[in-house]
């Protein structure tokens, strides 16, 4: 057999498997199907649910708005990966353009392109949900078996290989300053330390939904319909009876062809914290307390870059292997943040460097000696952090409004400061906050002086998110939640939500393991209920 | 104002770009046009292409850009835009219509002559003004243009040697 890295979707593999696959971008036939369970979205939530429910014997149909792409396509080129594998070609932004949104959109969702960081939900977060958001059944102790099940299923383990220099700089700086750092657990098996998780793993080492749970579901008679969007839920009284579909073309735009519908006993929304509220808003699902799409959290991210004497090659090696929670749970009333690093590849990095012309080219020419550090802010835990809102534009397409409050600006200012201090401690020659009015400075003192002057304003500071959460929160009280502790809709029968949109706040850690574990629990509960 | 003092600093940096731009004070429009005629576009019309052939060489001063690459950047941008949401495409259409429109060019860009007769200093001044504008929409216009131009230039392997990027590793 040719070396296709055990690709479950290779021609040879598909020839013997008899999987049920439909591509909405090329089909000429309208769909009229029936299923026990329709799962909308194939990311962390939908992927896990699909495996558990199809193995339990239910007829499952998975619907994914992105294309089916796999390691035969994953050539590590940003130019091809972004349009293929990301929402809006990795250029999605908030409505005011102040925040860039990195979100996956292909079979496997963001798990196909994420950087593999796999953290259990912090105990403090689960406690906060219990205390402040009336969440039950999700304590650390109750979640433990689900964490353990997922960790085993996806081979999640602390990265045993030495961090790449980009991550090493973070660890070195933190250590010099007496701050704690740890090694990140990753969902990989046979990882070759290439550094291209973000363009789809070319060797199927990353245990994404694409190569783990979705193939299992397909082996258990599930159907996968890609390049197809759920336009609306169908209802019969207060019971969900199925979904109406729209086909997408190969540029991710709606096709005019009538796509049809699927009747189902149960529908699970797993379209992520932008897509799931969008389906509910288009369907005008009951929302007596006006909660749908509200309190959307994003772990807003700011960054600093540093140039060293030695070679860093920040595009090479496992993208994230070191983190620090030193500032995640501050004792004062300020917002906490987690420290990690981003990998740096040409396209995305080029858009992040200030200015144009020679200034831009000169800074970029130092890429091999550049390290970047990021802070992700733990939003949603404070009075002054109520998150954003997903709404529909004139084309019934979702957009996110996310106001940046003073609490968040103070958090950014503090994290800029901490990150630059860490980079200088690690031996950086010069450092810059990723802010449009900033310049490189060669000392920690000058960095502090500059920070005093930098306007903490949208469109000046460069803010990012790769974690979409909230908008359909879970909890016991229908006045403050959309779904119950079992992930089932409070008002509509036959509807569950299994994705990051059920989080009542952000997490303070990269979300994939939380989504996997909560969805594993929810899908198992649902399976038991539907069996009885 | 605090921001002013920082802007002063970036103006000095802008000055460096201005001197470098002299390399391209004569943008080779004929050669770029020749490359462009061999390519197909879906989003950009001829007016947009005229705007872009003036802006792109200025944004890419300091790189080893060639007329062929400049044309390729326009094609890459054209293709990339088709993947954006309908709303974002509409906003970009408005931006390019504004830039191609005579009144827009004079009032918002500050270039009285045609795009093709504007010199490098005028084009740099326009980009700097937009970058540092106090009007959000203008800043957004600059940021959108800049991201599209540099992102689509560094998307192709020809650009990588300048930034010390070896390209993806070879898989055995």
pLDDT band for position B6 (cuts 50, 70, 90): very low
- Using CA atoms, how far apart are residues A433 and A372, in angstroms rounded to an integer? 10
Average pLDDT over residues B31-58: 96
Q: pLDDT (tens digit, 9 = 90+) per residue, A411-434?
A: 999 999 999 999 999 999 999 999
Average pLDDT over residues A191-208: 98
Tokens of A143: 């979640």
Q: Fold identical between A11-90+103-116+119-153+196-293+470-531 and A165-187+301-378+405-457?
A: no
Is residue A53 within 8 Å of A527, Cβ to Cβ? yes
pLDDT band for position A91 (cuts 50, 70, 90): very high
Above 50 in pLDDT, residue B1?
Answer: no
CA Rg, chain B, in Å? 17
Above 70 in pLDDT, residue A333?
Answer: yes
pTM equals 0.96
pLDDT for residue B26? 80
Q: Measured between CA atoms, how close is B33 to chain A, in angstroms?
A: 21
Q: pLDDT (tens digit, 9 = 90+) per residue, A353-394?
A: 999 999 999 999 999 999 999 999 999 999 999 999 999 999
pLDDT band for position B25 (cuts 50, 70, 90): low
At A230 the three-state DSSP class reads: strand
Contact partners, residue B37, CB within 8 Å, separation at least 6: none
Domain A165-187+301-378+405-457 sits in CATH at 3.30.410
Above 50 in pLDDT, residue B11?
Answer: no
Q: How far apart are the first and last CA of chain B?
A: 58
A353 neighbourhood in chain B, CB within 8 Å: 150
CB contact under 8 Å between A361 and B79, yes or no, is no
pLDDT for residue A5? 80
As a whole number, the mean pLDDT across chain B is 87
Name the residue facing B171 among A202, A347, A368 (closest C-beta): A202
Q: Write down the CATH superfamily of domain A11-90+103-116+119-153+196-293+470-531.
A: FAD/NAD(P)-binding domain (3.50.50.60)
**Lowest-confidence region among A156-160, A522-526, B101-105:** B101-105
Q: What is the ipTM of this complex?
A: 0.95
**Pairing, β A254-269 against β A31-40:** parallel
Is residue A514 within 8 Å of A503, Cβ to Cβ? yes
Residue by residue, what is the 3-state secondary structure of A74-136?
Answer: CCCCHHHHHHHHEHHHHCEECCCCCEEECCECCCCHHHHCCCCECCCCCHHHHHHHHHHCCCC
Instruction: For chain A, give every domain's residue range.
Output: 11-90+103-116+119-153+196-293+470-531, 165-187+301-378+405-457
Q: Which of residues 57-76 of B touch A (CB under 8 A)?
A: 58-63, 76
A92 neighbourhood in chain B, CB within 8 Å: 85
Average pLDDT over residues A225-249: 97
- The residue in chain A having the minimum alpha-carbon distance to the alpha carbon of residue B2 is A453
Q: Measured between CA atoms, how close is B101 to chain A, in angstroms?
A: 24
């Amino acid at each position: 057999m040719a070396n296709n890295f055990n690709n479950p979707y290779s021609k040879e593999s598909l020839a013997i498997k008899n999987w049920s696959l439909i591509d909405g971008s090329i089909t000429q036939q309208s769909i009229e199907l029936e299923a026990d369970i329709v799962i909308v979205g194939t990311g962390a939530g939908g992927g896990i649910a699909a495996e558990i429910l199809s193995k339990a014997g239910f007829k499952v149909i998975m619907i994914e708005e992105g294309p089916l792409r796999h390691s035969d396509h994953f050539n590590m080129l940003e130019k091809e990966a972004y349009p293929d594998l990301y929402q809006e070609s990795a250029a999605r932004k908030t409505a005011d353009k102040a925040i860039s949104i990195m979100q996956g959109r292909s079979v496997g969702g963001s798990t196909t392109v994420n950087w593999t960081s796999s953290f259990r939900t912090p105990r403090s977060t689960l406690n906060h949900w219990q205390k402040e958001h009336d969440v039950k059944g999700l304590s650390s102790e109750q979640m433990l078996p689900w964490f353990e099940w997922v960790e085993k299923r996806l081979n999640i383990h602390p990265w045993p290989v030495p961090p790449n220099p980009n991550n090493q700089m973070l660890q070195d700086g933190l250590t010099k300053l007496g701050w704690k750092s740890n090694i990140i657990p990753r969902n990989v098996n046979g990882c070759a330390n290439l550094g291209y998780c973000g363009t789809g793993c070319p060797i199927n080492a990353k245990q994404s939904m694409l190569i783990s749970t979705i193939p299992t579901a397909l082996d258990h008679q599930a159907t996968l319909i890609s390049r197809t969007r759920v336009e609306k839920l169908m209802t019969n009284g207060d019971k969900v009876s199925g979904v109406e579909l729209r086909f997408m073309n190969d540029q991710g735009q709606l096709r005019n062809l009538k796509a049809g519908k699927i009747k189902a006993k149960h529908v699970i929304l797993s379209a992520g914290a932008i897509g799931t509220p969008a389906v509910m808003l288009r369907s005008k699902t009951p929302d007596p307390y006006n909660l749908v799409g509200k309190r959307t959290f994003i772990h807003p991210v700011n960054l600093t870059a540093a140039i060293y004497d030695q070679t860093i090659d920040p595009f090479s090696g496992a993208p994230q292997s070191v983190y620090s929670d030193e500032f995640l749970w501050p004792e004062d009333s300020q917002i906490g943040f987690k420290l990690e690093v981003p990998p740096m590849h040409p396209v995305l990095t080029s858009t992040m460097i200030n200015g144009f012309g020679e200034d831009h080219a000169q800074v970029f020419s130092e890429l091999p000696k550049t390290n970047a550090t990021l802070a992700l802010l733990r939003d949603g835990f404070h009075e002054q952090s109520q998150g954003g809102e997903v709404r529909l534009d004139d084309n019934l397409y979702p957009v996110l409004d996310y106001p940046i409050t003073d609490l968040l600006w103070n958090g950014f200012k503090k994290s800029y400061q901490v990150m630059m201090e860490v980079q200088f401690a690690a031996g950086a020659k010069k450092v810059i906050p990723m802010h449009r009015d900033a310049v490189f400075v060669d000392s920690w003192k000058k960095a502090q002086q500059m920070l005093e002057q930098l306007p903490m304003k949208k469109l000046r500071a460069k803010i990012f998110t790769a974690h979409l959460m909230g908008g359909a929160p879970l909890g016991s009280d229908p006045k403050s939640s959309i779904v119950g502790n079992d992930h089932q809709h409070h008002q509509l029968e036959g509807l569950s939500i299994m994705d990051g949109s059920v989080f009542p706040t952000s997490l303070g850690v990269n979300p994939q393991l939380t989504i996997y574990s909560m969805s594993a629990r929810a899908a198992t509960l649902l399976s038991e209920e539907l069996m009885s | 104002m605090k921001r002013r003092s920082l802007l002063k600093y970036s103006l000095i940096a802008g000055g460096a770009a201005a001197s470098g731009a002299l390399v391209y004070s004569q943008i080779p429009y004929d050669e770029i046009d020749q490359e462009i005629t061999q390519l197909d576009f879906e989003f950009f019309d001829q007016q947009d292409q005229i705007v872009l052939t003036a802006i792109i060489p200025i944004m890419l001063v300091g790189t080893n850009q060639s007329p062929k690459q400049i044309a390729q950047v326009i094609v890459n941008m054209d293709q990339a835009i088709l993947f954006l949401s309908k709303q974002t495409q509409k906003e970009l259409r408005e931006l390019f219509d504004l830039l191609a429109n005579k009144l827009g060019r004079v009032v918002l860009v500050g270039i009285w002559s045609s795009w093709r007769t504007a010199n490098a200093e005028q084009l740099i001044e326009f980009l700097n003004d937009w970058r540092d504008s106090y009007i959000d929409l203008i800043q957004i216009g600059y940021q959108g243009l800049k991201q599209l131009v540099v992102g689509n230039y560094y998307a192709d392997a020809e650009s990588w040697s300048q930034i010390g990027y070896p390209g993806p590793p070879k898989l055995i």
